Structures are given as C-alpha cells and as structure tokens.
Amino acid sequence: MFIHSNELVDIGFTGQPWTWSNDWEGEGEIRERLDRVLCSRLWAQKLDKAVCSHVSNEASDHAILLLETNLVSANRKKRFLFDIRWIKHGEVEKVIAEAWS
C-alpha cells in the first residue's frame, strides 16, 4: 500500500531471490525478500539501466543490496586517440600499414 500510494517503483534485483534468512537449517528455515530498492518513476526512467544485486553476507542475516547506476554498455566502442609520440618509433608506418590492410 505504501509503495503504491507514494508512486514508488521497485527496480527488481539480480542474485539470490531473498534478502533475509533466519539461518536455520532444514524445516524451520525461512527466506524472504524483505529489503528492496525503491525509487520514483522519473528516477527509474532516467536511470533505466540501474541494477540492484543481492549479495550474500556472512556477517548478517540480511543480504547486502548493491545498487549500480553507472553501467557502461558493452556495445559502446572506445574512441581511438592517436598519440603523436608514436611517430618517433621507426616501425610505426609498417604497423599502421599492416593494421589497415
């Protein structure tokens, strides 16, 4: 109700499907997704590549939420910059000619 009435968005997650465990073994074990990353719709539109990861944590019964917002696209080509100092090397013309052929 709180999330809906405040127009918040759950950005989802990657990793294990729970953020809390009672750390019991066997029948009494409970695992729940209690923790989550919420944001406004505008934030979600501007940072649509943001990812929340559930990271295991041995020191607590809660997982760490790692929010990454500055993700670089794998398809993006790096810009080539020519370094003028390369001209000083005797074989630079040969290397460039071989690369272009």
Number of domains in the chain: 1
Put simply, whether the predicted model's pTM sits higher than 0.85 gets the answer no
pLDDT-based confidence at 62, cuts 50/70/90? very high
| pLDDT at residue 72, rounded to an integer | 65
Strand locations in 1-101 (E): 8-10, 14-15, 20-21, 31-32, 38-40, 51-55, 64-68
Which residue, chain included where needed, has tokens 């001209």?
87
Q: Are strands 31-32 and 38-40 parallel, antiparallel or unpaired?
A: unpaired
pLDDT-based confidence at 14, cuts 50/70/90? very high
* Structural domain of 88: 2-100
Which residue, chain included where needed, has tokens 């539109």?
45
Q: Per-residue pLDDT tens for 20-51?
A: 999 888 889 999 999 999 999 999 999 988 99
- DSSP category for residue 73: P
**Average predicted confidence (pLDDT) for the chain:** 87
Which residue, chain included where needed, has tokens 């750390």?
23
